[in-house]
Amino acid sequence: MSTFPLAPIFIVIFVTAANAEIYNYSCKICAFPSDASDGSDGCEVVGPILPLRVDDNKNILEWRGRKYDLTIASNDESDGCAKYGWHATRNNISFLFCTATQGYAAIEDKNGVRVQCNLKR
């Protein structure tokens, strides 16, 4: 009888872990942003593919060996994201990580898109 009360505790732990949302992206840096007058986002990607990870449960974004705290960037904010995204901050560094449809995402700052990413499926 003494082991029965522990069963609900284990069930709660497993259910909580299953609900964690972790998103893994493959990203490329915009090394030489182009003129966006052609309707594009003004980004020409170059260089190696770099991993980016968002842990929505812990509100952490991992990028290039650093962890950033996340808050939701809602689309009704002046600097928010069109679909869904987060404000990422660490010390005096901040940027937006915005997601769109079909797995596309981007790191954006006041100067526009800096990194383009695709969700790993």
Domain ranges of the chain: 21-119
With tokens 């990203």, the residue in question is 27
CATH 3.30.1490 fits domain 21-119: no
The residue ranking higher by pLDDT, 32 or 22, is 22
Q: Has residue 90 got a pLDDT over 90?
A: yes
Tokens of 59: 């509100």
Gap between the Cα atoms of 112 and 12, Å rounded: 43
Q: Has residue 26 got a pLDDT over 90?
A: yes
Q: What is the pTM of this model?
A: 0.72
